[in-house]
Structure 1
Amino acid sequence: MDRPANRSFAGSERAFVRPPPRAGMDEYARDTKVEWREWGTTPFEDAADAGKPVLLALTVPWSAECRAMDRRTFGEPRIAANINDGFIPLRVDADRNPRVRERYTMGGFPSTVFLTPDGEVITGATFLGPDGFRGILDSVRESWDAQGAAAGSIPRQLQDESPPAGELRSRIEEHMIEQLLGAFDDEFGGWGTDVKFPLPRTVEFALVRARDQATRTLEAIRTHLLDTYDGGFFRYSTERNWGNPRREKLLDENAALVRAFAHGYRYTGTEAYRDAAQRTVDYLTTTLWADEAFAASQAGSDEYYRLEPSEREGTVPPNVDETVFADRNGLAIDALLWVAAYTDDERAQQYASRARDAVCDTLVDDGEVAHYDGPDSETGLLLDQAQLLQGLTTSWQVLGEPGPAEAVADWTIENRQQDSGAFRDGPASGAGLCSRSLHPLDATVELADALVDLAALTGEDRYRNAAVAAVESFAGAAERMGVEVAGYASVAARLQQPQTLTVGTEAGTDLHRAALRMADHETTVVPDPDGDGTARLLDGDAIVAEGTTPAELEAALTGEN
């Protein structure tokens, strides 16, 4: 087995990422005939000077549609000439530039967006073949000639300075349970009656509130989205019965599913769930392993994945983007450590520790997290801060090794939390609409969840207070939330009924390992090497169960004498 070196959280000088020569531009730009420019303020200034609109192409390295549009549309000489003459063309790798992605995506990739020189949106679309692209070019020209900059508008999510705030109430959890019941597909599993996304955070919410829904969905995901030959989970299915999956494999989505299956195994003891989690760990630690941490993604290819296993042997597999992103690695660290906690999987623990050390050594500076290792990488993005913090708090719970968890949390609260309690996704600066506030719900949930754990691990109420303020900053919209954001209701419930399982031993003892296996997955496990050797379950401040041996603890937690 490939064993990790004995490394600390700081001091490494080794870079493990090979970013493209032009950080804002993906390597496939050369397949087109468009004279692309990189994201920044200068192209928008040039557009204003020239009186031209901006054409923004958002691409990702794992999308077959992006490659097809490069060849068929942007590679067509007459279309490229029209773009070069009449627009200021920008090309952005959306994975490396999350703030641009979140403000301008059209709901999928590629996203082709036409902007005013102020960065406002005229119109946009996802994949466009040559004919469709010519049509939208003509439409944009007409709008621009008739209205100029007035043709643009600011997307709704960027128009308000703060999300709708409210109070933290038990109704938030009740509403989400109602949503589960109303949206569940009784025939095929999962939620919704059209495209089927695996929704791992929703599965986790359901595991303790609607377990039959959770297990039926895990079965559907395992049956239809798990690549049983090469390993890893496909992204989602385009059909209600989980058929015709999209074949891309992204690190963050795979990590989230590893954690969901691990928690599923913890509650049910179903070996198939353990198997799915561990097989995906094997995929992450081989195909998606990039020297010292986890690679970002593997491209999808229907042609490749429709081959029989024996035929795949002689075929080059889809490309892997070896960029190491902080946010995605945070999720992978978190997931692999829960697999290790539930199964004693040594490989999962070793690779999680290696990735944690490498990311902290290379991407963390006094609590500020870089998105990836490159000169043009943004730093301090909310999702990077939040998901890496989640990995670090899990490292503290499982291994007793917190790393820079408090530094990351302190930097995030000081620099990203606003007076309203809401967290901003990044700095209040940048080209186009990047200077406008965006308060992402998903990243806020991830951060609040990690802060709940950190408050229990440190005994510091300020972390819990920051989490409460963040969750309440969205509470006014809670009644409009659907199952896709069940994680919001989960963290709201944790804040209202915090449960902590303190273990008065160092991490790794039999008592600590038993506590990790027995605790509800929404309970924080706190190893205390200076403790008295007793494990205690606290509901708020009240001790509700305790034991000094694994057997005593199990009897106390289950109510057996």
Structure 2
Amino acid sequence: MDEFAAETKVEWREWGPEAFERAAGSGKPLLLSLTVPWSPECRAMDRGVFGEPRIAANINDGFVPVRVDADRNPLVRERYTMGGFPSTVFLTPEGEVISGATFLGPDGFRGILDSVRESWDAKGATAGSVPRQLQDEAPPAGELRPRIEEHMVEQLLGSFDEEFGGWGSDVKFPLARTIEFALVRARDQATRTLEAVQTHLLDTYDGGFYRYATGRDWSNPRREKLLDENAALVRAFAHGYRYTGTEAYRDTAMRTVEYLTTELWTGDAFAGSQAGDDDYYQASPTDREDADAPHVDTTVFADRNGLAVDGLLWTHAYTGDATARRYAERARDYVCTELVGDGVVIHDDAADSHRGLLVDQAGVLQGLTTSWQVLGEGGPAEAVADWTIEQRRQDSGAFRDGPASGAGLCGRSLHPLDSTVELADALVDLAALTGEDRYRAVATEAVESFAGAAERMGVEVAGYASVAARLQDPQRLVVGTEAGTDLHRAALRMADHETTVVPDPDGDGVARRFEGDTVTAEGATPGELEAALTGDSKQ
């Protein structure tokens, strides 16, 4: 349970079979509170609603209250969130959803309590229903074809905001993976969005990126800082620097590396998040110095640290920055030592953490394959991939997010697109790094398992189109030296970011780019390689 639960007056229970058994035995519905440590609204609801004695007594008497930290329990989060945090969800003893809402004040909360009680008294367990995303056993499959990438380019062109940058005409998210997709297909859109993110979401004093902006013009940012989102933007700005040479992008990446390695560094790895606090972040530098910084959740999450390793190592690859490399190595080693065993990844370093969740397997594998490309050190990458394929892959080729059992609806199948894309992307790299085509075959089937919905996808999942393109036009740059040579470092800086760089310490000292099995460029020195690659429009 999260550390803020004790500040309320509700008699919370842990998520698990006992809570559902209690609900069934008492004939009461469950009240699930999904909270996160970085949300000001969660703290406000704790004080104003769950801390109000009469409301708390009403909850304790008429419901079985359950409290879940959504960051620490992705399975519950993905099945029950109402679209934001806090989420309050009313469940039957079978785990089906009666009703739910995000933030509510005291009056609104009293209203939903009365409504749920009336519904429960009238209908009982039949008042609940299974959320739509859990009703299908498998996503809509289809064929992997060039149209997937073409459709996503059309989405970029159709939804780009020409006035303010970014995509969409309302709330603005930074969409790091979309920026990366656009860097090689619609570069002006990518650079204008990088500039907007840099101008409006970067905390220029403490460092780090805010989550998103509520205004179309990137105004009114939500000021929480999450490790995974910052890691993704470090990588996007590093890639932006690689393609354009714009020093401002390099500086932004480095400033964010500094934030991650100071404010979010636990001593062993990277902390999960820092809370939002408008009063603090809008204060002058002098006032900030005298104030307490917003709360940092020091939980070390495996998936988020994997993505941080990925982002920091690409920054090191393009800039040579030693700090980015050193902290990436330390985080990688801590995760591999403390949170990985026999290919199984533990979600976080808290007690009784989940094991083998797809989000963690994918995030850690992404960090390890990048470590292999940049440093020549893959660690347990193959073990992580093999366990994931054996334990989480379905007959359809799709991947489950977790085990096929669990309290509530956690035993029902859920096939998350984002984690599938992360995993497939890492498997493409692993196939090139190991020479094992089976990893590419698994990645292909995973991507094909969603291809039937490709024409309905928007720019927020451009990463799907990116990995689909990589699978259809596989490219690798094999460097016939160990990692760290001048030739290898040059290859990292010159390769298209969707090309896998493969250091080969047993090679002949020549770097060769392969498209499929065909060599399309080669060079034995950085200069020769640059001449070969820059003469090709793909670079």
State the TM-score, normalizing by the size of structure 1: 0.95
Determine which of 296, 302, 324 is the counterpart of 1:320: 296
Match in the other structure for 2:259 = 283
Pairing of 1:275-354 with structure 2 (within 5 A): 275-354=251-330
Distance in structure 1 (CA, Å) of the matches to 2:432 and 2:404? 31
Following superposition, the deviation at residue 374 of structure 1 comes to 3.1
Q: Which residue of 2 aligns with 1:8?
A: none
Q: Give the counterpart of 1:537 among 510, 513, 537.
A: 513
Alignment match, 2:116: 140
Name the counterpart of 1:32. 8
Partner of 1:417: 393
In the alignment, which residue of structure 2 is the partner of 1:458?
434
Deviation at 1:292, TM superposition (A): 1.0
Q: Given residue 243 of structure 1, which amino acid in structure 2 is its aligned partner?
A: S
Distance across 1 between alignment mates of 2:260 and 2:435: 34
Q: Structure 2 residue aligned with 1:197, among 173, 176, 184?
A: 173
The correspondence of residues 35-184 of structure 1 with structure 2, limited to 5 A, is 35-184=11-160
Counterpart secondary structure, 1:516: helix
Q: How far apart are residue 352 of structure 1 and its match?
A: 0.2
Counterpart residue type for residue 268 of structure 2: E
Match for residue 358 of structure 1 among 318, 334, 340: 334
- Helix, strand or coil at the partner of 2:409: helix
2:525 matched residue in structure 1: 549
Q: Which residue of 2 aligns with 1:445?
A: 421
Q: Indicate yes or no: 2:241 matched with 1:265.
A: yes
Establish whether residue 243 from structure 1 lines up as the match of residue 226 from structure 2.
no
State the distance in 1 between where 2:239 and 2:405 align: 40
Aligned to 1:522: 498
Verify the 8 A CA contact 2:30 2:91 in the aligned structure 1. Answer: yes
Q: Which SS does the other structure have where 2:94 is aligned?
A: coil
- Within 5 Å, give how 1:2-13 maps onto structure 2: none
Paired residue secondary structure (1:492): helix
Once residues 361 and 270 of structure 1 are traced to their aligned partners in structure 2, the CA distance between those partners, rounded to angstroms, is: 37
Structure 1 letter corresponding to 2:180:
E
Alpha-carbon distance in structure 1 between the residues aligned to 2:379 and 2:3: 35
Q: What whole-Å deviation, never above 9, does each CA across 1:63-115 have from its counterpart, x for those lacking one?
A: 10000000000111111011000000000000100100000000000000000
Q: In the aligned structure 2, how far is the partner of 1:422 from the partner of 1:151?
A: 31
Counterpart in the other structure of 1:371: 347
CA–CA separation in structure 2 for the residues paired with 1:26 and 1:543: 54
1:204-262 residue CA offsets vs partner (Å, 9 max, x unmatched): 00000000000000000000000000000000000000000000000000000000000
Q: CA separation in 1, counterparts of 2:447 and 2:422?
A: 11
- Corresponding residue for residue 5 of structure 1: none
Letter in 1 for 2:260: L
CA shift digits 1:357-402 (9 cap, x unpaired): 0000000010000001233100000010001000000000000001
Deviation at residue 46 of structure 1 after TM alignment: 1.0
Does 1:234 pair with 2:210?
yes
Looking at structure 2, the residues matched to 381 and 244 of structure 1 have their Cα atoms a distance apart, in angstroms, of 34
Q: Which residue identity does 2:141 align to in structure 1? A: A
TM-score (norm 2): 0.99
DSSP-derived class of the 2:356 partner: coil
Alignment partner of 1:254 is 2:254: no
Letter in 1 for 2:361: Q
1:153-203 superposed Cα distances (whole Å, 9 cap, x missing partner): 000110011000001000000000000000100000000000000000000
Contact 2:299 2:350 in 1 (8 A): no
In 2: Cα distance, 1:269 partner to 1:559 partner: 18
Tell me by how many angstroms 1:313 deviates: 0.7
| 1:294-325 Cα shifts (integer Å, max 9, x gaps) | 00000000010110111111111001111000
Counterpart code for 1:405: A
Unmatched 5+ stretches in structure 1: 1-24
Residue by residue over 1:389-436, the C-alpha shift from the partner in whole angstroms, topping out at 9 and shown as x without a partner, is 000000000000010000000000000001100000000111000000
**How is 1:395-434 mapped onto 2 (pairs within 5 angstroms)?**
395-434=371-410
Q: Which amino acid counterpart does residue 394 of structure 1 have in structure 2?
A: T
Q: Which amino acid aligns with 2:136?
A: D
Q: Distance in 2 between matches of 1:428 and 1:524?
A: 34
Query: Paired residue for 1:506?
Result: 482
Determine the C-alpha separation between the residues in 1 that align with 2:450 and 2:356.
22
Instruction: Report the counterpart of residue 559 of structure 1 in structure 2.
Output: 535
2:410 is paired with a residue of what secondary structure?
Answer: helix
Determine the C-alpha separation between the residues in 2 that align with 1:355 and 1:47: 42
**Partner Cα separation in structure 2 for residue 291 and residue 174 of structure 1:** 45
Q: Which amino acid aligns with 2:333?
A: D
User: Take 1:232 and 1:43, find their aligned partners in 2: how far apart are those partners?
Assistant: 39
Unaligned ranges ≥5, structure 2: none
How many Å separate the matches in 2 of 1:89 and 1:67? 17
Considering Cα pairs closer than 8 Å and 6+ residues apart, tell me whether 1 or 2 has the greater RCO. 1
Q: Give how far 1:49 is off.
A: 1.1
- Tell me the SS of whatever aligns to 2:71: coil
**Following the alignment from structure 2 to structure 1, what is the Cα–Cα distance between the partners of residues 535 and 35?**
55
Q: Distance in 2 between matches of 1:412 and 1:280?
A: 31
Alignment deviations for residues 480-538 of structure 1 (CA, whole Å, 9 cap, x no partner):
00000000000000000000000000000000000000000000000000000000011
Structure 1 residue 207 and structure 2 residue 183: aligned?
Answer: yes
| Secondary structure, counterpart of 2:514 in structure 1 | strand
Q: Secondary structure at the match of 2:34?
A: strand
The percentage of aligned residue pairs carrying the same residue is 81
> How many equivalent residue pairs?
536
Distance 2:95 2:68 in 1: 14
Aligned to 2:370: 394
Which residue identity does 1:51 align to in structure 2? G
- CA deviation string 1:135-163 (max 9, x = no partner): 00111011101111001000011001100
Q: Find the residue that maps to 2:144 and give its secondary structure.
A: coil
- Name the SS for the 1:335 alignment partner: helix
SS in 2 for 1:291: coil
What residue is the counterpart of 1:7 in the other structure? none
